């Protein structure tokens, strides 16, 4: 409770400066942390999906017999993806990615129970060679809001948008287009153009604090290792297949949802805007974000205003995030307005929730969330700035499907971490945790290979030769981090302001209400197959068909 006491004293003096705030956070320091187990994973530095030519880059041919190839089942009410049956050629590529990269299709018994199993990741939209599978188009909702003079439409943009949007306008993969993106959004008449990266820094403040509290044993029922919670596809995967491990998931909302809750409370109060008039729009690389925004838990702003002004007022405060567009949808909207994107001038984000650090920028790459968290956790534990090697943590960078690192912290010991991309790879780590043999304190999971920069809503130039494009996008994110003024989330002046003026300190009562959430089991929707009983998915549908052996390519 020493942090809360320091804060109360600072507030009594009505002075929370950058120095006093950071001194307060350094009070989280812990001692006696030590990692004693290692070498759990066999390190095979193979990129999730391989290096071949087919969509999603397989090195071997698909195992679906040619005359029984099919397609993934998609619920007509799926909030993330839809299929145009007129374009589907039953090539089976969506089956391959869902089974081999995401380990969803074929990992549950038939029949299913009151649910068409889907983690909403949208990787099938990238694998589909005809464009039959697309994100659900929500452009009309945004246009309607922009045309309503009574609405104040706020837009946030994820870190991965700025290194992929240019591809939709003929620019090379990985081109940094932040300034042009902001200029385009202003020409689309958004009332405020803000940055999800601000909320990424906010996430790190909360997540690093939670990690330290878990290590110190201050959060009963929340065991180690702590799992990241930024990827909604990963969260739903865990709810389906590993519900017993849900207590390991950080209670922190994703940056998208932290932003949505903050913009309809803190931002509304700071700007003097009626929260009932705010329409919160996010631009994401991820189709699963459409699903996440509709989760019943994501109405924290409404609950805040209900406590403050009553239910009659709060009933007109809509969801924390109202509409989610993918990178591809934003490109369509820009093109539909005749905006010459490549020749736009560079413009800056609006103030208050528009500043970020390099740690926030690298959220778009696999391993970026972990690296950013380690930087700030190091400061919280030691009260000192992290050494240069923690600003370039190479063991958890790159396209390897599973990565590990051990970080020595003076006076504390060794913090062991793991990073997974693609849920088939994630199963390796989850099975170790389930068996009680995990050596790690913190694990990052990203549903999509490469992380958010290769999300299901990104430009389809990601295939073929996906890894080459992923590498270029990732390199741009890390280059931006290296040149940024602030590298660590606790340095962001907008973050200091939001804690001073609104949240108080990480994991305060108000922060818990607006920035944290909970998840629930979906195991009753399916019967998961044990690894020892695993078969190819076509064998479930055609159990009497004897497969021919397919040669390696």
Note the pTM of the prediction, 2 decimals: 0.88
List CB contacts of 532: < 8 A, sequence separation 6 or more: none
**Can 98 be counted among the known catalytic residues?**
no
> Which pLDDT value is given to residue 401?
86
**Catalytic pick among 329, 452, 454, 497:** 452
Q: What is the rounded radius of gyration, in angstroms, for the C-alpha atoms of the chain?
A: 23
**Catalytic pick among 96, 168, 206, 292:** 292
**Can 118 be counted among the known catalytic residues?**
no
> Which pLDDT value is given to residue 497?
95
**Can 536 be counted among the known catalytic residues?**
no
Question: What are the E-state strand segments in 84-140?
Answer: 133-135
> Which pLDDT value is given to residue 391?
84
**Catalytic pick among 253, 289, 497, 500:** 289
Comparing CA positions, the residue from 5, 39, 48, 45 lying closest to residue 24 is 5
Q: Tokens 């299901």 belong to which residue? A: 456
Is residue 280 within 8 Å of residue 154, measured between CB atoms? yes
> Which pLDDT value is given to residue 366?
86
DSSP 156: E
From the number of C-beta atoms within 10 Å of its C-beta (0-12, 13-18, 19+), residue 410 rates as exposed
**Catalytic pick among 40, 151, 297, 306:** 297
**Catalytic pick among 94, 98, 124, 230:** 230
Comparing CA positions, the residue from 93, 121, 120, 98 lying closest to residue 108 is 98
Q: What is the pLDDT along the chain (553 residues), one digit of tens a residue?
A: 554 555 455 445 545 566 666 666 665 655 444 333 344 555 444 555 454 434 444 444 455 554 456 789 999 999 999 999 999 988 888 988 898 889 999 899 888 888 899 999 999 999 888 899 999 999 999 999 999 999 999 999 999 999 999 999 999 999 999 999 999 999 999 999 999 999 999 999 999 999 999 988 999 999 999 999 999 999 999 999 999 999 999 999 999 999 999 999 999 999 999 999 999 999 999 999 999 999 999 999 999 999 999 999 999 999 999 999 999 999 999 999 999 999 999 999 999 998 889 888 888 888 888 888 888 888 888 888 888 888 888 888 888 889 999 988 886 688 899 999 999 999 989 999 999 999 999 999 999 988 899 899 999 864 445 788 888 999 898 898 889 888 888 889 999 999 999 999 999 999 999 999 999 999 999 999 876 676 655 455 444 444 433 333 2
How far are the Cα atoms of 220, 256, 296, 453 from residue 519, in angstroms, in the given order?
17, 16, 10, 25
Gap between the Cα atoms of 537 and 534, Å rounded:
9
Gap between the Cα atoms of 163 and 155, Å rounded:
18
**Can 250 be counted among the known catalytic residues?**
yes
Question: What are the E-state strand segments in 21-175?
Answer: 81-83, 133-135, 152-157
List CB contacts of 387: < 8 A, sequence separation 6 or more: none
Is residue 360 within 8 Å of residue 372, measured between CB atoms? yes
| Helices assigned H by DSSP within 288-422 | 288-293, 300-309, 311-314, 327-336, 358-361, 368-382
> Which pLDDT value is given to residue 268?
98
Is residue 180 within 8 Å of residue 344, measured between CB atoms? yes
> Which pLDDT value is given to residue 86?
92
**Can 297 be counted among the known catalytic residues?**
yes
**Can 36 be counted among the known catalytic residues?**
no
> Which pLDDT value is given to residue 4?
54
> Which pLDDT value is given to residue 146?
98
**Can 151 be counted among the known catalytic residues?**
no
Dihedrals phi, psi of 525, to nearest 5 degrees = -85, -10
Comparing CA positions, the residue from 300, 222, 309, 316 lying closest to residue 254 is 300
**Can 236 be counted among the known catalytic residues?**
no
């Amino acid at each position: 409770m020493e942090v809360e006491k320091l804060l109360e004293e600072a507030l009594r003096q009505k002075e929370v400066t950058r120095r006093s705030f950071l001194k307060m956070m350094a009070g989280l320091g812990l001692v006696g942390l030590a990692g004693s187990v290692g070498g759990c994973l066999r390190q095979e530095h193979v990129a999730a999906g391989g290096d071949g030519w087919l969509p999603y880059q397989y090195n071997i041919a698909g195992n679906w017999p040619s005359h029984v190839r099919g397609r993934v089942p998609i619920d007509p009410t799926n909030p993330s993806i839809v299929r145009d049956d007129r374009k589907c050629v039953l090539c089976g590529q969506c089956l391959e990615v869902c089974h081999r990269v995401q380990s969803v299709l074929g990992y549950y018994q038939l029949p299913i129970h009151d649910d068409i199993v889907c983690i909403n990741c949208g990787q099938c939209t990238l694998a589909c060679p005809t464009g039959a599978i697309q994100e659900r188009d929500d452009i009309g909702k945004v246009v309607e809001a922009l045309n309503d003079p009574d609405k104040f439409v706020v837009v946030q943009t994820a870190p991965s948008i700025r290194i992929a949007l240019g591809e939709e306008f003929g620019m090379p993969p990985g081109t940094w287009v932040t300034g042009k993106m902001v200029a385009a959004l202003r020409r689309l008449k958004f009332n405020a153009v803000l940055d999800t990266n601000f909320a990424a820094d906010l996430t790190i403040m909360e997540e690093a604090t939670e990690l330290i509290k878990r290590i110190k044993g201050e959060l009963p029922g929340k065991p180690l290792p702590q799992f990241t919670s930024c990827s909604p596809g990963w969260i739903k995967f865990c709810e389906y297949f590993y519900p017993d491990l849900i207590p390991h998931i950080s209670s922190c909302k994703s940056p998208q949802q932290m932003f949505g809750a903050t913009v309809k409370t803190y931002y509304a109060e700071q700007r003097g805007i009626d929260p009932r008039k705010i329409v919160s729009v996010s631009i994401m690389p991820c189709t699963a974000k459409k699903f996440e925004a509709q989760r019943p838990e994501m109405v924290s702003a409404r609950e805040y205003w209900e406590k403050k002004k009553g239910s009659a007022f709060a009933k007109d405060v809509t969801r924390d995030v109202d509409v989610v567009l993918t990178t591809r949808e934003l490109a369509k909207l820009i093109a539909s307005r005749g905006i010459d994107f490549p020749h736009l001038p560079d413009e800056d984000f609006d103030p208050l929730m528009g500043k970020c650090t390099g740690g926030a920028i690298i959220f778009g790459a696999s391993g970026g969330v972990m690296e950013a968290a380690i930087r700030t956790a190091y400061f919280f534990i030691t009260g000192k700035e992290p050494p240069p090697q923690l600003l370039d943590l190479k063991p958890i960078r790159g396209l390897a499907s599973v990565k590990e690192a051990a970080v020595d912290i003076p006076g504390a010991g060794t913090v062991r971490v793991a990073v997974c991309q693609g849920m088939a790879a994630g199963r390796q780590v989850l099975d170790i945790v389930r068996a009680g043999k995990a050596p790690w304190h913190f694990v990052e999971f990203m549903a999509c290979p490469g992380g958010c920069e290769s999300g299901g809503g990104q430009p389809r130039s990601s295939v073929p030769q996906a890894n080459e494009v992923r590498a270029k996008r990732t390199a741009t994110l890390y280059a931006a981090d290296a040149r940024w003024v602030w590298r660590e989330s606790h340095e962001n002046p907008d973050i200091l302001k939001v804690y001073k003026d609104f949240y108080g300190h990480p994991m305060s009562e108000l922060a818990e209400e607006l920035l944290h959430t909970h998840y629930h089991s979906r195991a009753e929707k399916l019967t998961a197959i044990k690894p020892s009983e695993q078969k190819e998915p076509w064998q479930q549908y055609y159990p009497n068909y004897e497969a021919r052996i397919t040669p390696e390519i």
